[in-house]
Amino acid sequence: MEVGMYDLSQTDRTGSATAEGVSLAPSAHLRRRNLVQKIAVNIMRAGTVVTVVITAGIIFSLIPPTIQLLSEIGTQIFGTSWAPLFIPPEFGLLPLITGTFVIVLIAMMVAIPFGLAAALFLSDYASYQTRRFVKPILEILAGIPTVVLGLFGLYFVNPKLVEKYWPIGESVGYSALGAGLMTGILTLPIVASVADDALSSVPRAMREAGYALGATRREVATKVVFNAGISGVVAAVILAFARAFGETTVALMVAGSYPKLSGNPGDPMQTMASFIGFAGIGDQPTDSTGYRTIFLVGALLFLITLVFNLIGNRIILRYREVYE
Amino acid sequence: MDAPSCQHTALSGVSQVGSMKGYLMISMKKSVTVVLGIALATALLASPANANEVKNTAPCERRGEVAVAKGIEYKCSLFGKSLRWKKVGAAAAGAASTAGNNADYANVSGKISIDGSSTVAPLTGVAAEAFQKVSKTQITVGISGTGGGFSRFCKGETDISNASRPIKSTEAAECAKNGIKYTEMIVANDALTVVINKNNTWAACLTTAELKKIWNTGSTVTRWNQVRSTFPAAKMVLYGAGTDSGTFDYFTEAINGKAQVSRKDYNPTEDDNVTVNGVRRSAGATGYYGLSYYLENSDVNKAVQIDSGKGCVTPSAANVINGTYTPLGRPLFVYVKHESAKSNSAVIPFMTYYKENLAALAKKAQFVALSAEQQTKLNSELDAIKKLA
Amino acid sequence: MSTLSLASKLSPIRKLKDGSFRLFLTFSIVATLSFILFVVYTLWNDSYFLMSSDLLTKFPSNDPDDVGFQSAIFGSIWVVGVASLLSLPIGILTALYLEEFAGKRNRLTSAIETNIQNLAGVPAVVFGMIGLAFVARGPLSWGFTVGSASVVLAMMILPVVIIVAREAIRAVPPSYRDGALALGATNWQAVYRLILPSSIPGIATGSILAVSRAMGESAPLLLLGALSFVTFNPTGLDSQFTIMPLAIFKYASDSRDEFHYIASAGSLILIVILFTLNLIAILLRDYANRKSRV
């Protein structure tokens, strides 16, 4: 809706009727309306500016400390030991990166199969009634606060599952495996919902064509619908990935705060996000090395999730255009 | 018409935003919420029937309920995973509600902001809790760690700083730079306790040299037999204080010779509870924290006797006061900002209450009380502050 | 529907694949549901004996017998309340602008839209960090108070509110707008008097969901000092505070077993609060849909 396109008052030629006849100037009433509109629109524009300010705030808060720290420590970030709050500090990012990677990977191993299964179920197998029942289940799962999942991971998954059944290594009450499982459950609704969106919007004609050619429901679901909606599925995975990356509370409570460089999911590990949480509890004086380290890791986290979100959203935009 | 809902956009990064088109989910969610809500509401609000017979460790119904049977006072307490009657000691010091002066505080109001050591926090916390019950003040106690506490204190953000080590010269300079004047007061003694798992039968007594071997920077000790060859080859898991912690500073200085010099590959935490839990979990684990945490958790952690050349000494209140528990016996501090004492009408009453009830509070929080001369010193420091107002 | 007439022609392998696939799908759904029930069961099992109104009226304490969540609940209400007051008007106005007044195809608008999409996906901790850098310290230096926390949460839910409000506004039939304009209304009048009122139920629904997200968030306020021992309810924007999720976090980290049960009890309370908010949102949606179908 272009401003002014339908707005008759802008091209208004109807004046007001007076005793002398009709004048062509806009009446006071119309002038006031226009003014009100102008003011309102400007107030709304100001609101939009707020979002830009927030983004600018993110960038301006993250960049200066990061650059300052990088100029001081340079290539130390390629080291293998992360101990920025010790004296002498060590800034090797590798343990944080592997820790994040392990947990996100495990999370995806949980979220993707079950999330896609839920999505396929909803789009192709569920009747109207079943859908009414199942969608809320996913919403309820999405609504569980992360602290609660962390609590569950800490007091059930770690002691009663990981400690008892994970064969490799010695368990210390924290594990990346537990954190990964909980984060997977956290991101499952995202995969399910976005994928369901995509798969549901595949035109019925395609499904019917499949059925007409003798395919079973499974074959239509997996070979027709899934492939047609693949871009949406990919977007779902990418967005879930980004969410898992940024999860702080679960990782902090369940995976511990020891940045161990290890490939064993039974070990405690620290992710980028949980390091920020951990360091934030113990207050860091502004402009200390500790403070700048938080921002360095935060900048990295922000960048990675930004890239993933950009790609994911772009894919969604494109597939929606195709179908609309 | 299959126009896709915009649910996904809202869900990217968001826990849950429902589909705008879904009136599908109403009935299901309605019923779930209603059921859950009613269940919880009845549980929370329903008054339970009269408790079972009042007797020590007999089950009871309502947490916190107090009853008297045969002249002994009982309180319904959490006991493991159930509620049971527990004898409340003869010193119903409970909330350290010592008789007499409490009426003086009834009209005190204001806000006090306290932060710093998580070792001292339980003591100040108990004082704050009790003081808030007899006055109208609002007191927050943070656990940013001794270092973090000082940085906030020297910026003027807090009124009182808890510390498990004395203020460093760099921190003092920062305070001076910002015009923050303060008084250092010793409020309790502590015995930094080294702990091991209950199933660890071999390391009951360790020398300071052995501790240094374990904890020094660059240490590669991963098994107990590297500490002393007669020890089994059990894997060692280390828990300790984080770098913002005064406990960390004190321990590293006492054991490794210089503050903050430490190996880096251990599980750090600002929250000593994490150490308690960690040590409790694996047989080869070891850690360190303040005595009060040990006394609270002596059922799940075991204390190590420290031999600093004169034989094995157990960490205890007595051994701290008589000076035999070295080098890990230490004073615990509270730093009070002069500006707050002057302008914040709640600070001096709070500190007065703290001092007057210190013995009872220390007992409740399981801290080592002050020696007689320390108490005298505290009294005079408090008097000096009072004169400022 | 399945290939009824050709069913007899299906090879056994295909039938097996069909069956097992369907089994897997059903299993996934059942597993998800069971998981939710199991979590609630575990929480209940760990805290049913604790349930009494004490939990709502008492304050944090070092004594597990004397612990309750009052300051955390009020802290959450304060912080989330003020955050909503900040973000809802701005969000709705922005959504209105983007939907009704901005040029559709121009680059500035799509840049802003992409920006909002991205903000919705930024991890919550990052907002905590901006808060630490600019609000609690830095230029504003409000310290660790309800005010700082509200600003941080407001920033966090603003993108969500905008997206959700836009959907609600988009759902208003174009005929409404066209009719108003045909009758000589300005754009603003059409929006203010017609479109906004019609989309309010939808906006309200979405806002409540955004608000319930803010209530369950713990990470950003971790950086703003909400983990401290607070035994009073906030009295103003300059009060220190704690929030429900972080109170639960605190008790969960305590080494004493008794506090775990209290943390479980708190979790149940939090879940019920969130579900109630959700229910209100759904009822609103119900009402809105009924109205629009008239």
pLDDT tens, position by position, B19-62: 433 443 555 666 666 777 777 777 666 655 544 567 777 888 77
pLDDT attached to residue B175: 93
pLDDT attached to residue C60: 85
Sign, Cα dihedral of A140, A141, A146, A151 = positive
pLDDT tens, position by position, C128-163: 999 988 998 888 888 889 999 999 999 999 999 999
Distances (CA, A) of A196 to A118, A123, A202, B108: 8, 6, 10, 60
Strands B285-289 and B301-303, sheet pairing: unpaired
CA-based nearest distance A278→chain C, Å? 9
Sign, Cα dihedral of A207, A208, A209, A212 = positive
ipTM of predicted complex: 0.88
Check B300 against C255: CB less than 8 A apart.
Answer: yes
Sign, Cα dihedral of A26, A32, A38, A40 = negative
pLDDT tens, position by position, B240-256: 888 777 888 889 989 98
CA distance C12 to B261: 70
Q: In terms of C-beta density within 10 A (0-12 exposed, 13-18 middle, 19 or more buried), how is residue B31 classed?
A: exposed
Check A239 against C32: CB less than 8 A apart.
Answer: no
Residue with tokens 């900002």: B337
Q: Which fold has domain A79-323?
A: MetI-like fold (1.10.3720)
Residues facing residue B111 across a β-bridge: B138
| Concatenated DSSP letters of B71-85 | TEEEEEEEETTEEEE
Phi, psi of B67 (to 5 degrees): -145, 155
pLDDT higher than 50, residue B92:
no
Residue with tokens 């919403």: A139
Mention every residue, 6+ apart, whose C-beta is less than 8 A from residue C85.
none
pLDDT tens, position by position, A16-40: 444 455 556 778 888 888 888 888 8
Instruction: Name which residue leads in pLDDT, B374 or B2.
Output: B374
Residue with tokens 């409540």: C208
Three-class SS of residue A181?
helix
- Nearest CA to A109 out of A263, A244, A225 is that of A244
Strands B237-241 and B160-163, sheet pairing: unpaired
CA distance C116 to A54: 10
Paired tokens of C181: 């304009």
Nearest 5 degrees, angle CA C85-CA C91-CA C93? 105
Question: B240 CB near a chain A CB, below 8 Å?
Answer: no
Residue with tokens 């360091």: A279
CA distance A12 to A29: 12
pLDDT higher than 50, residue B11:
no
Site from C33, C42, C52 to mutate, B interface, most B CB atoms within 10 angstroms? C52
Check A257 against B5: CB less than 8 A apart.
Answer: no
pLDDT higher than 90, residue B85:
no
Domains of chain B, each with CATH number or no CATH = 24-189+333-386 (3.40.190.10), 190-329 (3.40.190.10)
pLDDT higher than 50, residue B1:
no
pLDDT attached to residue C28: 93
Sign, Cα dihedral of A140, B14, C165, C117 = negative
Q: Nearest chain C Cα to B117, which residue?
A: C228
CA distance B210 to B229: 11
- Nearest CA to B323 out of B373, B277, B360, B359 is that of B373
pLDDT band at C267 (very low <50, low <70, confident <90, very high): very high
Closest partner residue to C115 (CB to CB) among A52, A216, A248 is A52
pLDDT attached to residue B97: 46
H-helix or E-strand spanning residue C230: strand C229-230
* Residues B105 and B131: beta-carbon distance below 8 Å: yes
Distances (CA, A) of A7 to A34, C101, C174, C188: 10, 11, 15, 10
Predicted TM-score of the model (pTM): 0.85
pLDDT attached to residue B26: 55
pLDDT attached to residue C280: 85
CA distance A215 to C17: 12
* Residues B83 and B77: beta-carbon distance below 8 Å: yes
pLDDT attached to residue A113: 95
- Nearest CA to C56 out of C256, C247, C255, C257 is that of C247
Question: Domain C71-243 carries which CATH code?
Answer: 1.10.3720.10
pLDDT tens, position by position, A252-271: 999 988 888 988 899 899 99
Closest partner residue to C255 (CB to CB) among B34, B142, B276 is B276
3-state helix, strand, coil in chain A (%, to 5): 70, 0, 25
Where do the H-state alpha helices sit in chain C? Answer: 12-47, 54-57, 70-96, 107-120, 124-130, 146-170, 174-182, 187-190, 196-216, 219-222, 244-253, 257-292
Instruction: Name which residue leads in pLDDT, C60 or A104.
Output: A104
Pick out chain A residues at pLDDT < 70: 1-24, 283, 321-324
pLDDT attached to residue C159: 94
Check A294 against C93: CB less than 8 A apart.
Answer: no
Q: What is the mean pLDDT of residues C231-257?
A: 87
CA-based nearest distance B206→chain A, Å? 23
pLDDT attached to residue B32: 67
Residues facing residue B75 across a β-bridge: B66, B86
pLDDT attached to residue B185: 92
Cβ contacts (< 8 Å) between A199 and chain B: which residues?
none
* Neighboring chains of A (3 or more beta-carbon pairs < 8 A): B, C
Check B28 against A170: CB less than 8 A apart.
Answer: no
Q: Nearest chain B Cα to C257, which residue?
A: B80
Distances (CA, A) of B100 to B97, B105, B135, B348, B353: 9, 11, 14, 18, 11
pLDDT attached to residue A13: 47
Q: In terms of C-beta density within 10 A (0-12 exposed, 13-18 middle, 19 or more buried), how is residue C3 classed?
A: middle
Q: What is the mean pLDDT of residues B155-184?
A: 91
Q: Nearest chain A Cα to B143, which residue?
A: A282
- Break chain C into its structural domains and give their ranges: 71-243
CA distance A143 to C219: 16
Three-class SS of residue A106?
helix
Give the count of alpha carbons within 13 A of A196, CB side only: 27
Paired tokens of C41: 């069961």
* Residues B16 and A189: beta-carbon distance below 8 Å: yes
Phi, psi of B366 (to 5 degrees): 60, 50
> Among A220-224, B138-142, C7-11, which is the least confidently predicted range?
C7-11
* Residues C158 and C90: beta-carbon distance below 8 Å: yes
Give the count of alpha carbons within 13 A of B364, CB side only: 27
- In chain B, where do the E strands start and end? 66-69, 72-79, 82-87, 109-116, 136-141, 160-163, 182-191, 193-197, 205-207, 237-241, 267-269, 285-289, 301-303, 305-307, 312-313, 329-337
Instruction: Name which residue leads in pLDDT, B341 or B71.
Output: B341
Does the bond joining A88 to the residue before it have cis omega, within 30 degrees of 0? Answer: yes
Instruction: Return the number of other C-beta atoms located less than 10 Å from residue A306's C-beta.
Output: 17
| Mean pLDDT for all residues in chain B | 80
pLDDT tens, position by position, B192-204: 899 999 998 888 9
Mention every residue, 6+ apart, whose C-beta is less than 8 A from residue A155.
C42, C46, C252, C260
Nearest 5 degrees, angle CA A307-CA A310-CA A312? 105
Distances (CA, A) of C158 to A60, B324, C127, C138: 19, 60, 12, 22
* Residues A178 and A157: beta-carbon distance below 8 Å: yes
- Which pairs with CB-CB distance under 8 Å and at least 24 residues apart come from B258-262? B259/B165, B260/A86, B260/A87, B261/A87, B261/B216, B261/B217, B262/A86, B262/B215, B262/B216, B262/B217
Closest partner residue to B40 (CB to CB) among C256, C258, C272 is C272
Mention every residue, 6+ apart, whose C-beta is less than 8 A from residue A11.
A4
pLDDT higher than 70, residue B116:
yes
- In chain A, where do the E strands start and end? 17-18, 21-22, 82-83, 90-91
Closest partner residue to A51 (CB to CB) among C39, C115, C219 is C115
CA-based nearest distance B64→chain C, Å? 5
Helix (DSSP H) and strand (DSSP E) numbers for chain B: 15, 16
Paired tokens of B186: 């010793």
Q: Describe the crossing of helices A176-200 and A128-143 by its angle, rounded to 10 degrees.
A: 140
CA distance B48 to B274: 35
pLDDT attached to residue C76: 94
- Break chain A into its structural domains and give their ranges: 2-75, 79-323
Does the bond joining C12 to the residue before it have cis omega, within 30 degrees of 0? Answer: no
CA distance B94 to B1: 68
pLDDT attached to residue C42: 93
- Nearest CA to C86 out of C160, C152, C169 is that of C152
Q: What is the mean pLDDT of residues C2-15?
A: 68
